[in-house]
């Protein structure tokens, strides 16, 4: 079957996406023909600098505006994005349909859902018989899942199913293969695990598909089409060593999205992929897309040993967790294997706030990791969350003090205001915790001791201190240093 994979704006433009590359690979290995349209990077590259600013995450609300009202037929959601015209959407749709696809798959994120819906609706207007499936990690955030069963979903899911045919939930590799097989044999989608559909006006929720137990069985991702695009991080490729996260931070929805399961690849399998991609794409630059590269420090150390012993020359970076298991010797080994930057989510330098966040480390461990990492020759990026619902002025001051005391070991830093995400500990327990949330997800504490205005002032003071120090504002989490 001919399958078209589509990515709409807005999403990152640093490097090709990993998810669609995995789908392309597994579909083609099983005898299908795949064509990809990355309208996100294509649109970005077609614009001048004055419009490329819309890919800064400060503009994400403009892309996502009115996302929950996807059934609306007007363009109000994107009225502030001047170049996203109806004529452009129609041109995209015609290009997709010109390939005569048997299935059109969209990878959707919070910031790309509305544009994806507009494009899907236009495709259906031009060809009602086309089959469209939506998938991607954002879909999980629209669902209520208990013990691997979908028990409810947001109204937007039903709205989407008024236009598209299927929604894929959780990991998509095995699911899309079964969808293709059923379409080819004209079989019903009833019982197709991991799929939600609408039949005769009624939403049909099939069982969730079990997560892959052994992710080493996946074929290596195929970037052959997307590599022709001009991404901002030249010649970078994403790779991962694990799916899931071992941490249970109270503000994060990663555990929910991965169904609270961590699965790691064997280092030898990761090494084989590195060798394959280096040869195939003539690159030495990699970014590890793991939620945290050191989910299992022993596996990480073994991978570094293999890279060093096999004399594989690569330059790479990743996100990492602060951990007592990360000592100077391990950081040195990371550097010897080609690691050039690590991004740490420290979030706060207040012991009380760290405990409230359920962060599994102390301020002292954070300082030791930062110093050891920097002294090993690896650039240190630190990320901070300002205005956590239990943060006081004193707590915020501790964060500023930590940065000032350790600035010589910090190469980049960034901060974000605390946001109450669905499917997080804080969201699920907000009433008991005294967090008041309105319909726009703006929140405050019951005693008004923590409001948006207070949080915004702390961010302004953070930036002012950052400018005083001359520290880089980390707009893209890490980067290679020349």
Averaged confidence pLDDT in the chain: 91
pTM, two decimals, is: 0.91
pLDDT > 90? residue 473: no
Q: Does the bond joining 10 to the residue before it have cis omega, within 30 degrees of 0?
A: yes
| 405 token code pair | 């005391």
pLDDT > 70? residue 296: yes
pLDDT at 225: 77
pLDDT > 90? residue 74: no
pLDDT at 226: 67
* Mean pLDDT confidence for 39-44: 95
pLDDT at 471: 66
**Number of Cβ atoms within 10 Å of the Cβ of 420:** 17
* Mean pLDDT confidence for 296-316: 97
pLDDT band at 61 (very low <50, low <70, confident <90, very high): confident
Which stretch of DSSP H or E encloses residue 354? helix 351-356
Higher pLDDT, 448 or 23: 23
Angle between helices 297-309 and 267-281 (to 10 degrees): 50
Strands 236-239 and 202-205 come out as unpaired
Contact (CB, 8 A) for 185 and 243 = no
pLDDT > 70? residue 436: yes
pLDDT band at 480 (very low <50, low <70, confident <90, very high): very low
DSSP class of residue 115 equals H
* Mean pLDDT confidence for 52-72: 69
What is the tens place of the pLDDT at every residue in 363-415? 999 999 999 999 999 999 999 999 999 999 999 999 999 999 999 999 999 89
Contact (CB, 8 A) for 376 and 425 = no
pLDDT at 58: 72
Higher pLDDT, 301 or 140: 301
DSSP class of residue 99 equals T
**3-state secondary structure at position 197:** strand
pLDDT > 90? residue 428: yes
- Residue 239, classified by CB atoms within 10 Å of its CB into exposed (0-12), middle (13-18) or buried (19+), is buried
Strands 285-288 and 315-320 come out as parallel
* Mean pLDDT confidence for 136-163: 88
Higher pLDDT, 241 or 448: 241
Q: How far apart are CA 339 and CA 347, in angstroms?
A: 23
448-476: b (≥16 Cβ within 10 Å) or e: eebeeebbeebeeebeebbeeeebeebeb
pLDDT at 356: 97
**3-state secondary structure at position 84:** coil
pLDDT band at 182 (very low <50, low <70, confident <90, very high): very high
Query: For tokens 């996302």, what's the residue?
Result: 67
Alpha carbon distance, N-terminus to C-terminus of the chain: 45
User: Over pLDDT 90: what percentage of the chain?
Assistant: 75
| 364 token code pair | 């002292």
Q: Where does residue 169 fall: left (phi above 0), alpha (psi -120 to 50 degrees), or beta otherwise?
A: beta
What is the tens place of the pLDDT at every residue in 75-97? 444 457 889 999 999 999 999 99
pLDDT > 70? residue 144: yes
Q: How far is CA 264 from the centre of its chain?
A: 18
Domains present along the chain, CATH in parentheses: 2-205 (3.40.50.280), 233-473 (3.20.20.70)
Higher pLDDT, 9 or 482: 9
What is the tens place of the pLDDT at every residue in 190-235? 999 999 999 888 899 999 999 999 999 999 999 987 666 688 888 8
pLDDT > 50? residue 475: no
131-145, 265-279, 314-328: which range is least confident on average?
131-145
Q: Dihedral of the CA atoms 222, 37, 9, 319 (nearest 10)?
A: 0
User: What φ, ψ does residue 384 adopt, rounded to 5°?
Assistant: -130, 145
**Number of Cβ atoms within 10 Å of the Cβ of 287:** 24
pLDDT band at 66 (very low <50, low <70, confident <90, very high): very low
């Amino acid at each position: 079957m001919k399958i078209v994979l589509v990515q709409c704006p807005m999403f990152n433009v640093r490097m090709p996406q990993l998810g669609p590359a995995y789908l392309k690979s597994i579909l083609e290995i099983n005898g299908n023909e795949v064509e990809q349209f990355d309208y996100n990077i294509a649109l970005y590259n077609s614009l001048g600098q004055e419009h490329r600013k819309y890919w800064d995450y400060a503009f994400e609300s403009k892309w996502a505006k009115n996302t929950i009202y996807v059934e609306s037929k007007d363009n109000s959601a994107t009225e502030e994005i001047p170049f996203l015209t109806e004529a452009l959407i129609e041109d995209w749709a015609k290009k997709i349909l010109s390939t005569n696809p048997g299935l059109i798959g969209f990878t959707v994120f919070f910031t790309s859902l509305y544009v994806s819906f507009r494009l899907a609706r236009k495709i259906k207007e031009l060809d009602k018989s086309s089959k469209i499936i939506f998938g991607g990690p954002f879909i999980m955030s629209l669902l209520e899942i208990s013990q691997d069963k979908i028990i409810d979903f947001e109204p937007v899911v039903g709205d989407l199913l008024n236009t598209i045919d299927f929604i894929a939930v959780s990991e998509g590799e095995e699911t899309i293969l079964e969808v293709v097989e059923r379409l080819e044999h004209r079989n019903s989608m009833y019982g197709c695990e991991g799929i939600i559909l609408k039949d005769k006006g009624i939403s049909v929720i099939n069982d969730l598909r079990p997560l892959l137990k052994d992710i080493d069985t996946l074929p290596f991702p195929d970037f052959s089409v997307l590599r022709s695009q001009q991404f901002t991080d030249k010649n970078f490729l994403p790779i991962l060593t694990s799916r899931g996260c071992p941490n249970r931070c109270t503000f994060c929805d990663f555990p929910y999205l991965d169904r609270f399961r961590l699965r790691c690849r064997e280092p030898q399998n990761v090494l084989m992929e590195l060798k394959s991609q280096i040869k195939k794409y003539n690159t030495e630059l990699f970014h590890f897309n793991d939620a945290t590269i050191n989910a299992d420090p022993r596996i990480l150390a073994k991978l570094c040993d293999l890279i060093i012993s096999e004399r594989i020359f690569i330059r790479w970076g990743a996100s990492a967790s602060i951990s007592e298991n990360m000592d100077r010797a391990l950081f040195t080994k990371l550097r010897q294997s080609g690691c050039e930057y690590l991004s740490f989510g420290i979030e706060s330098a207040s012991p009380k706030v760290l405990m409230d966040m359920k962060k599994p480390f102390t301020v002292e461990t954070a300082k030791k990791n930062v110093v050891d990492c920097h002294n090993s020759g690896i650039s240190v990026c630190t990320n901070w969350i300002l205005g956590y619902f239990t943060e006081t002025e004193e707590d915020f001051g501790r964060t500023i003090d930590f940065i000032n005391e350790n600035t010589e070991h910090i190469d980049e830093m960034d901060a974000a205001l605390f946001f109450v995400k669905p499917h997080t500990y804080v969201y699920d327990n907000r009433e008991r915790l005294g967090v008041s949330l309105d319909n726009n997800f703006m929140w405050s504490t019951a005693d008004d001791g923590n409001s948006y205005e207070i949080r915004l002032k702390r961010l302004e003071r953070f930036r002012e201190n950052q400018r005083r120090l001359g520290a880089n504002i980390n707009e893209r989490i890490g980067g290679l240093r020349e």
